[in-house]
Amino acid sequence: IAAHYDLGNTLYTHFLDESMMYSSAIYPDVNASLADAQFHKLHTICKKLRLTADDHLIEIGTGWGGLAVHAAKHFGCKVTTTTISEEQFAYANEWVKREGLEDQITLLKKDYRLLEGTYTKLVSIEMIEAVGKPYLNQFFNKCASLLIPDGLMLLQSITIDDRRYDSYHKGVDFIQKHIFPGGFLPSQLVLNQHIKQASDLSIRDMQDIGLDYARTLRDWFNAFVAAKEKLAVHGYDERFARMWEYYLKYCEGGFLERSISTVQLVLSKPRYVDELTR
């Protein structure tokens, strides 16, 4: 996974918006910009987690720090977040310092399996695709162990259509070969099975945002094409540019035809109660 994210922060700063979110946005309306949609996605996640200043949020997969900064700034909670990418860790570290959030945000460069302690809330945004099929039970077991008895978790995951799952995981597609070596997409059914097998978590809510991802990819593609000449100066040659353009369009097509999608799952520990049942 580090191989994909350590291509260089320069590449990603040229086609992502200022949130530096490399995951599906959620568009609040047809006229929303990519930046608007990513802000809306981050706010939606924090609200689904019912974050308050009393929470300590653990994040598996920091990215460049966008969610951690958003949660700390807008919801006042403490955040501990981990990544295994050197480039992302360095970028997030600078961002946290720039925002003056060192007292609220703890950055770790650690494999999620080595995390310790318990937290009130947990979030993982499009990191599970890097976990690998044999380790899904381990992932959900670890997530459950990091939460207090009435904790809440939000997972955002790209998924493959259940009907395509068997043939997909027996082969290697373009993305697995050229873009995300070692990447693996679960299906919604497979996610459900592993959650039940390996944890005491219950699914409380599911939202499909696959078509939002198609639009996100279109916005990334347009920004990437507009920045091609600047990227060439930094050593991203024509062959790389063609492969990246193909990757972005290939993924957009997958979301549009619904062979792949993205879901946000809200999961709770057994003792969690909301306002309606309190």
Supply the residues annotated as catalytic. 251
Angle made by CA atoms 22, 190, 118, in degrees to the nearest 5: 65
CB atoms within 10 A of CB 243: 13
Angle made by CA atoms 92, 95, 98, in degrees to the nearest 5: 155
Angle made by CA atoms 244, 248, 33, in degrees to the nearest 5: 120
Helices (H) and strands (E) in the chain, counts: 12, 7
Using DSSP, state whether 101 is helix, strand or coil. Answer: coil
Contact 255, 210 (CB under 8 A): yes
Strands 119-125 and 105-108, bridge-based pairing? unpaired
Contact 53, 75 (CB under 8 A): yes
